[in-house]
Amino acid sequence: MFRSIKAPIGFIVSMSLLVIVVTVLLFAASESKRLYQDNIKTQSDFFSETIAQLIFPLVNEGTWDNVPIENALSTLSYRENLIAVRIYSPDYSRVVQLNGRESERLQESFFQELDPKNVPVGVVDDCQIVVTHYPIGSPAFVRGYVQVYTDVRAPVGSNFFSLVFYVFSPVFIVFVITLIVCLLAVNKLLKPLGALSAFTKQVTQAKDYTLRHKYTKRDEIGGLTHNINRLLETIEVELLINQEQNQALMDQQEIMTRLANYDSLTGLPNRQFVFDSMKLELARAKRNGDDVALLFFDLDGFKGINDSLGHETGDLILVEVASRVSMLLREGDLVARLGGDEFLVVPDRESNDASLHNLATRLIHAFAEPFELRGLSLTVGVSAGIAKAKDAEYDLSELMSNADLAMYRSKAKGRGSYTVFTPDMVESHKRKLHLANAIEKGLANNEFSVYYQIKINQRGQVIGMEALLRWNHPEYGMVMPSEFIPIAEQGGRISSITHWIINKVCQDLPELKQWVGRKFRVSVNLSVHDLRNSNLFDNIYAIFKRHDTNPEYMEFEVTETAYLENFANSNKFFKRLSNMGCAIALDDFGTGYSSLSYLTQISIDTLKIDKQFVREIEQSERSRLVTGSIIDLAKRLSLQVCAEGIENEAQWEYLSEHGCDSVQGFLFSKPVPIDDLMSVPLCFPRRVLDMDFLGV
């Protein structure tokens, strides 16, 4: 109703003053009326007494002469406000009546019902009439009575209007002046409140909570001002806290977003980010009928460096890889780290086959230059696979799988290359998956079998054999270890295979003893995955105990790369085997990247020369020098030497002349089942080999 507090306060003040003025006027009128009535009553009493004295001489005892009385009273008829004068005899019989100016009131019911004997004396308020009753004569001898009726209605009303007329103007002036003064005072009192209200509006509009209102008086408004300022201080502090918290939340959200979408090590987009982007890009390409390509690659040799030099060095290489690849890309290309040493390049959508091949070539060549880190020159290669969306029917999961297949095909080709996905790779991949899922079942169904390849000493005598595994798959036929062993290692099933072959060799050992008839050893290969199994020694010991196997008939072969991957644990494991009586052979010696200083620290009995050196003995002087150096080194370390891959007598003769303790190869026998092994000769005199017994 009111928009300002001034209006209701002004209204209240005005009404209060008006009530006061009206009250004063009414009180004044009431007092004026009372005073006037008292005055008229006094005058009427005096007038009655005067009349009684005037007519007393005219009243004879017991007789009334009306004429002289009327003549005497006639002079009084013009008295102001007089209604009537009545003269009564002692028995209240009316003798004379003089009507005055207000005689018309005699028609009122008051006079019609009036009993002169019981007439009310004084002011009759109901009728506004003053009645006086006065005896004629002395109280002891009353000759009659005088009753005077005086009107007070008209004079009181006239007096009221006169009072109002003369009093209202100054009262009204005083009222107006007082009202103005009050309103000015109210306005002055409320001015600080208005200023405070304007200040709060300013704060609301500006949203500046650092503002403060100045008011020094210590009244209610001062208290309110102080409270508002304190409230603003509280709001300011809370806003600062909220701003800091919001900023912290925004920073945290930015960090979380970056962590969720970017690799913390290299700063490249991560798997989540690139997959989300690829989903959108594949949907767009599918709508428009376009194609999208991606290049998936990982690092060749990174694992060995990471394991031998530590993860910190590996992380530095990954950072350098990210930097080197980023510099190769064009504007619009995207590179992301998927995890570990796996990276993904998404070329610009305008890329064609030629640009993809060019990108892959430049990527491979970029890693020809070694990384210089901490004084070391480290070479890391790249194997890449290229896949296209149309071949995967725009399915991201299938597209990534195709690129992964192509990349592993590059690794199979010898690394440092790239391969473009073709649909026939899927069938090869399905074969691998089928084989991986069939290993456990094959072990349970005895689909695997052990083939033995004999080892010959310098005198041509059988001194041992290597146990090699074969898988006669019911669907794929004979599957070689070169195919299913990597699959088993990747699928985490190599431990089951190793456990099976050791158990099978221990079962065959009594028959082998009977066939050889003298001391020999059966070699079983262990992979790097086997050495990671902390329960391997306990499993071997349990198998030996179950079959009552003499450990002196067993030899375990391991590559130098596998041995040195975790040197401390491997050394501890092989020392336990040696203490139990088993022999240890270091397989494929010379093909790894290890330092020869390790030979003085590892627990081995035999060095095995890889067949790649044996194969080139006749043609390559360098191979002959390397082979001779290995034999000489082994002799100096009091180690036995075994060469594998012997295919002709010249190789055998050269190795024997240079002190090689034992050999194995197709010259003597290919790997055969134990039943066929029984027909292989136990002695092979040099230059008198009977090829009918070789099985080749």
- Residue ranges of the chain that CATH labels 3.30.450: 6-159
Q: Which comes out higher in pLDDT, residue 682 or 596? A: 682
| 6 — pLDDT class (breaks 50, 70, 90) | low
Q: Which comes out higher in pLDDT, residue 203 or 5? A: 203
Rounded Cα distance between 579 and 593, Å, is 28
- Phi/psi-derived region of residue 465, left when phi > 0, alpha when psi is between -120 and 50, beta in every other case: beta
Q: What is the DSSP letter of 61?
A: T
User: Residues near 379 by Cβ (< 8 Å), separated by ≥ 6?
Assistant: 301, 367, 370, 371
pLDDT digits (tens, 9 = 90+) for 13-25: 778 877 887 787 7
pLDDT score, position 590: 66
So what CATH class is 271-422? Answer: alpha beta
Among residues of the chain, what percentage have pLDDT more than 90?
A: 29
- Is there a contact between 654 and 638 (Cβ–Cβ < 8 Å)? no
The domain made up of 453-468+494-686 has a fold known as TIM Barrel (3.20.20)
pLDDT score, position 125: 54
Mean of the pLDDT values across residues 101-112?
A: 74
- Residue ranges of the chain that CATH labels 3.20.20.450: 453-468+494-686
User: Residues near 654 by Cβ (< 8 Å), separated by ≥ 6?
Assistant: 617, 618, 624
pLDDT score, position 688: 46
Rounded Cα distance between 540 and 527, Å, is 14
pLDDT digits (tens, 9 = 90+) for 285-326: 899 988 899 999 999 888 888 888 888 888 999 999 999 999
Mean of the pLDDT values across residues 676-680?
A: 93
- Phi/psi-derived region of residue 640, left when phi > 0, alpha when psi is between -120 and 50, beta in every other case: beta
Average pLDDT of the chain to the nearest whole number: 83
| Closest by Cα among 124, 171, 202 to 29 | 171
pLDDT digits (tens, 9 = 90+) for 511-561: 999 999 999 999 999 998 999 888 999 999 999 999 999 999 999 999 888
Specify burial of residue 644 (Cβ count, 10 A radius: 0-12, 13-18, 19+).
buried
Rounded Cα distance between 353 and 388, Å, is 10
Mean of the pLDDT values across residues 409-431?
A: 83
Q: Does domain 6-159 have CATH number 3.40.50?
A: no
pLDDT digits (tens, 9 = 90+) for 229-246: 888 888 888 888 888 888
- Phi/psi-derived region of residue 291, left when phi > 0, alpha when psi is between -120 and 50, beta in every other case: beta
- 521-525 and 462-473: which strand pairing? parallel
- Residue ranges of the chain that CATH labels 3.30.70.270: 271-422
| 81 — pLDDT class (breaks 50, 70, 90) | confident
- Is there a contact between 596 and 560 (Cβ–Cβ < 8 Å)? no
| 693 — pLDDT class (breaks 50, 70, 90) | very low
